[in-house]
Structure 1
Amino acid sequence: MKAMTATGRTGRSEPSVELAAVDQPQPRPNEALVKVEAYSVNRGETFQLEAPRPDWRPGKDVAGLVVQAAADGSGPAVGTRVVGHPPQGGWAEYVAVPTDSLAELTDEVSAVTAAALPLAGLTALRLLRVTASAGGRRVLITGASGGVGHYFVELAAAAGLEITAVSSSPERGARLLELGAVRVVRTIDDAEGPFDVVLESTGGPNLPVALAKVARRGTLIWFGQASRQPVTLDFFDFFAGPESAAIRHFHYADSDTTYGQDLRTLVRLVAAGRLHPEIGLVADWSGTADVLTRLRDRGVRGNAVLTIA
């Protein structure tokens, strides 16, 4: 079969992936073999491609058709349309996916729409749960222009939270307002706190500024490092800041629910018209390298989806 493989070249003028012939995956007993119709690429994957592991192939967001059911009897039957979140290898004609990382698609949800759900949608849904458990009502989210930000704003607004989103783009900011944000600001400095919960995803110099926006007994949840700049925190400033505030690290994989369970929730919300994946670009998978460059340079609003004819 054919698959996108990492070239190991890191120059911006060169493609970071190329189409190559590889062995078709042999599913484990708890895995189904999926014929991929569409996959989504994420900005974080562009960073992984700069120094790829020898045994790694990219791809964690896929939608397609089950062509071989799991040998242990779990999961969907052959012929079922699914969305999945494999650990790797999804940018390919076929991928083996654990059955607890699959969800069946309804007729209302296309493969292109579904492919945009897994990583960004799972992150947003699980962030919302953590935000709720932290007692968040007034919430600030940085880096809100990407896929996670769009999903989170719509989900959180529907849950009754008051969301302030940080977006440097007026166009993207307008969309966040349509999705339910109470206000959109260009920089963290412009955000009028304090906030019960601050969701910080950019790192660098922005995190200390975001921390200063936290309310008494509030929480800063650190879930990304988009700027790729180191963070320096002066804890003397922290102690002099919001009383009894907390800093919490978040990783989307740390959850009591399986990917499959949460993917079913996301599919149900999309089918009901209560969640709207923000897909900024759809292209044939032969253009994956170019799409990765655009994504790395923030040239795509929301998600980018590649289709396999």
Structure 2
Amino acid sequence: MRALIVDRSAPGQLRLAEVPDPVPAPHQALVRVAAISPNPAEFRYILPGAPDGTVLGWDAAGVVERAAADGSGPAVGTSVTTLGLGGGWAELRAVDTALVGTVPDHADLGEMSTLPVSAGSALRALRKLGPILGRRVLITGATGAVGRFAVQLAARGGAHVIAVARKPGPADELRALGAHEVVTGPGGITAPVDGVLDQVGGADLAAYFDALGEGGTLVLTGAASGDTTGFPPGSLLADPMRQNRSIVTFFEMADGGIDRDLTWLAAEVAAGRLRTHTVWRGHWTDAADTLDAVRESRLAGKAVLDLS
């Protein structure tokens, strides 16, 4: 099969190459990949330490070519969207059935490839806030892939959504997705919030934590800024008016049920109830510039690379 492999001598440190087909374990399905959707974090955190020949890739969608030998997961011929710690940027993927979501018939597999990390993270991070009906939820990085899904899902969950966008231009679009307020930074927040989904980190994280009211939770889903966070002296001590505030770290694959979540998300997109945001789509043999743009976080949305 062909795959995008790590090659330090190649432009962008990636190249297409012929590699052996993966051999699935009994609990894995073999999926014929139709589309992949790279994430900036794969370049930021995984590529630097990956040896030559490694096949990266968290997000991939396709069709089951061989069902899992242990009887778990979808049958041969089922369209699926898949998540894994690697192996997605290839024509065939062996993937744990616990990380496979089924896709409605005739759904666009390119759209489905954008869901596992971005929509899955948004859904599962929001759950860490607890019930959000009638609560004020602040979402940073709202114009990014995770942020756009989080805005939609939080609004559907009954939250009053405050979206943070560094520039005011996308405000109307974010409101159309469900945001009730759009601000450009901590200074625009006018009242305590009950929960924060922060994907940016850096200098403003302390201010977003300070915006939490009594019992509020900040879920740290990313650190896109790459900057160090500093908390002023005393800012993490108990406040008589705002006790029991917390910062929670996040890892999407820490809990079970990913197969059910991905199946639900795929159905919502196919039915038009959840919007993806693909800003570039093309064939994986002609995607070098796009991969560079993903690497440098220059895309305000998802890229989809079609394999067929």
If the length of structure 2 is used for normalisation, what is the TM-score? 0.92
- Within 1, Cα distance between the matches of 2:94 and 2:133? 39
Listed one character per residue, the Cα deviations across residues 130-164 of structure 1 (whole Å, up to 9, x for unaligned) are: 12358881011111111111111111101110011
Listed one character per residue, the Cα deviations across residues 188-247 of structure 1 (whole Å, up to 9, x for unaligned) are: 222223101122221111111111211122222222111111222235123275621222
How many percent identity over aligned positions? 36
RMSD: 2.1
Residue 274 of structure 1 pairs with residue 273 of structure 2: yes
Decide whether aligned partners of structure 1 residues 139 and 176 sit closer, same or farther in structure 2, where only a CA change above 3 A counts.
same
Listed one character per residue, the Cα deviations across residues 11-52 of structure 1 (whole Å, up to 9, x for unaligned) are: xxx413111121110011111111110011111112135513
The answer to which of 132-141 and 275-284 deviates more is 132-141
- Would the aligned equivalents of 2:35 and 2:305 in 1 still touch at CA under 8 Å? yes
Gaps of 5+ in 2: none
After superposition, residues 163-202 of structure 1 pair within 5 angstroms as 163-202=161-200
Residue 40 of structure 1 pairs with residue 29 of structure 2: no
Decide whether aligned partners of structure 1 residues 110 and 221 sit closer, same or farther in structure 2, where only a CA change above 3 A counts.
same
- Within 1, Cα distance between the matches of 2:134 and 2:213? 10
Pick from 73, 76, 95: which aligns with 2:74? Answer: 76
- Would the aligned equivalents of 1:120 and 1:148 in 2 still touch at CA under 8 Å? yes
- Within 1, Cα distance between the matches of 2:89 and 2:258? 19
Query: Shift of the alpha carbon at 1:169?
Result: 3.4
Listed one character per residue, the Cα deviations across residues 234-261 of structure 1 (whole Å, up to 9, x for unaligned) are: 3512327562122222222222x32211
The answer to which of 112-121 and 296-305 deviates more is 296-305
1:91 paired residue number: 89
Whichever residue aligns with residue 39 of structure 2, its letter is N
Moved over 6 A (4+): none
1:304 paired residue number: 303
1:8 paired residue number: 8
Gaps of 5+ in 1: none
Query: Which secondary structure does the structure 1 equivalent of 2:158 belong to?
Result: coil
- Within 2, Cα distance between the matches of 1:25 and 1:50? 20
Query: Which secondary structure does the structure 1 equivalent of 2:130 belong to?
Result: helix
Q: Paired residues, what number?
A: 305
Whichever residue aligns with residue 271 of structure 1, its letter is A
Query: Which secondary structure does the structure 1 equivalent of 2:89 belong to?
Result: coil
2:102 paired residue number: 104
The answer to which of 163-172 and 173-182 deviates more is 163-172
Residue 162 of structure 1 pairs with residue 160 of structure 2: yes
- Would the aligned equivalents of 1:8 and 1:52 in 2 still touch at CA under 8 Å? no
- Within 1, Cα distance between the matches of 2:134 and 2:140? 15
- Within 2, Cα distance between the matches of 1:67 and 1:209? 49
The answer to which of 17-26 and 297-306 deviates more is 297-306
1:128 paired residue number: 126
